[in-house]
Structure 1
Amino acid sequence: MTGRVAGKVALVTGGAMGLGKADCERLAEEGAKVVLTDIDLSKAQAVADSIGGTALAQDVRDEQRWKEAIAEVERLHGRLDILVNNAGNVIFESIEDCSAENFRLQMAIHVEGTFFGCKYALPLMIKSGGGSIINMASTASLMGYGTIVAYSAAKGAIRSMTKSIAMHCQDKGYGIRCNALMPGGIETPMVQAISGRAGQEQPVPSGALPADALGAPRDVANMVLYLASDEARFLTGMEIPIDNGLYARPHH
């Protein structure tokens, strides 16, 4: 099957590397016109050049910049069908270690960034006749990890907010679906840095993976593509782990 999102316009935040980059590539492969944003414009531009897309500089914490980014998407393409709120970072701190400053930073990037994205994308998506919003949560919002208190809190908020937005859009008849993805361990620059091997990518083999294996960014991007496509018309308000069974597996 090809052209699964042909004719659609997508906006992907944090598109310069990792999951965001894979999302951009996968959507473009299947026919979408992709506008990607990132705080690192040079890296974002390299991705845009490789997929025939458009790169914009954006700090997702900046409300005004969100308004400008949506306006630029409308100027370029006249519509918006797909929004992927992917931008994020992680700071490893427990409740005892985490400063108020770092807690607020994580909430601003993840929660406020997602909130602004959904809020300011909605009018253009409604004008376009509907679409799909995909918010990036994490299995950290489902499980107890003592060393990422702020990150876990932020991702949990995204899960709850996604359901509220989904029900609002459905009740209003906007034709806009909103779902949350919850990746587990994926072979990304962030995970490489956490693992003490920054810049050292390990190839992810094809086929079924053993327990506790890392997934490839494309594993997440494939689900982004599905949710972005009309194939997923009956899915909204869902929270979907992409974790090779991590959440389902009992740990003793």
Structure 2
Amino acid sequence: MATNSGTHSVPLKDRVAIVTGSSRGIGRDIAIHLAQLGAKLVINYTSNSSQADLVAAEINSSASPDSPPRAIVVKADVSDPAQVKSLFDSAEKAFDSPVHVLVNSAGVLDPKLPTIANTCLEEFDRIFSVNARGAFLCCKEAANRLKTGGGGRIILLSSSLVGALKPGYGAYTASKAAVETMVKILAKELKGTRITANCVAPGPIATELFFAGKTEEIIKKVIDESPLCRLGETKDVAPVVGFLATDAGEWVNGQVIRVNGGYV
């Protein structure tokens, strides 16, 4: 039986996606993967404009020279409601379309990995401001702004640490547990809109965020704990997010999907 291969190869054709924290790491690969599925991308960053520009340039390089850009770069701090609103405004203005997909990948971690007893209040507040408050603000804006009636997707990045409960990650893990709880409630509150809301919770992934502050011994121990005997890579996570963003992922809703090779 003949199939329309063109439709299957670009399941997100011309849908607009915002990926926060997409100048590097997991967010970067998610943005590039969504672009390969046909989406138009908003590359978001807070501090490193040059890396964000490189991601947008990579996406735009595949478009024909006379066509409008398929990726734009927008600076925004997800913990600031005005900047989150501006992020959505920029997307709608640039692509003359409502946003279809929000992927919130922006996140911070204290590389010193202090115990709860030794976590300073300022660091706790910083982690919750970006990870929990940021996710809340992005969810709030998306719930009010995403295209309804089909294809609306909210995908938040959590962490498999919520299952592993490792010492040294108290504030970080608590902030991600808040995100997971929020997304399950949000999915129910979006009843009737056909917007889905899910979390993707990676295990240890070989990114700058993971390597920061870790010795070779600690890294080896993490690898030894994995049934697949390796660290995850960003390319292990991006396709899962991509699936959730497409029409094929509609029946997955209000879920936390741990992408960790069996680590937890």
Superposition TM-score, scaled by structure 2 size: 0.85
Larger Rg belongs to: 2
Displacement after TM superposition at 1:4 (Å): 2.1
CA distance in 2, matches of 1:41, 1:225: 24
Q: Which residue of 2 aligns with 1:69?
A: 87
Q: Does 1:20 align with 2:27?
A: yes
CA distance in 1, matches of 2:149, 2:89: 13
Q: Which residue of 2 aligns with 1:250?
A: none
State percent identity of aligned pairs. Answer: 30
Q: How does 1:35-184 map onto structure 2 within 5 Å?
A: 35-39=42-46, 40-52=48-60, 53-77=71-95, 78-91=97-110, 92-126=113-147, 130-170=151-191, 173-184=192-203
CA distance in 2, matches of 1:48, 1:124: 23
Q: CA RMSD in A?
A: 1.7
CA distance in 2, matches of 1:181, 1:107: 18
Q: How many residues align?
A: 235
CA distance in 2, matches of 1:146, 1:193: 16
Q: Provide Cα deviations, 1:32-75, integer angstroms capped at 9, x if missing partner.
A: 10101011222111111111211111111111101111111111
CA distance in 1, matches of 2:214, 2:243: 30
In 2 relative to 1, CA 135–158 (structure 1 residues): closer, same or farther, beyond 3 Å? same
Q: Which runs of 5+ in 2 are unaligned?
A: 1-7, 61-70, 217-225
Displacement after TM superposition at 1:131 (Å): 0.7
SS for the counterpart of 2:116 is coil
Q: Provide Cα deviations, 1:76-135, integer angstroms capped at 9, x if missing partner.
A: 122111100100011122111101111111111001101111111222214575511100
Q: Which runs of 5+ in 1 are unaligned?
A: 198-208, 248-252
Q: Which residue of 2 aligns with 1:202?
A: none
CA distance in 1, matches of 2:9, 2:147: 26
Q: Which residue of 2 aligns with 1:3?
A: 10
Q: Which amino acid aligns with 1:48?
A: A
Q: Which residue of 2 aligns with 1:186?
A: 205
2:151–2:247: 8 Å Cα contact kept in structure 1?
A: no
CA distance in 2, matches of 1:142, 1:225: 23
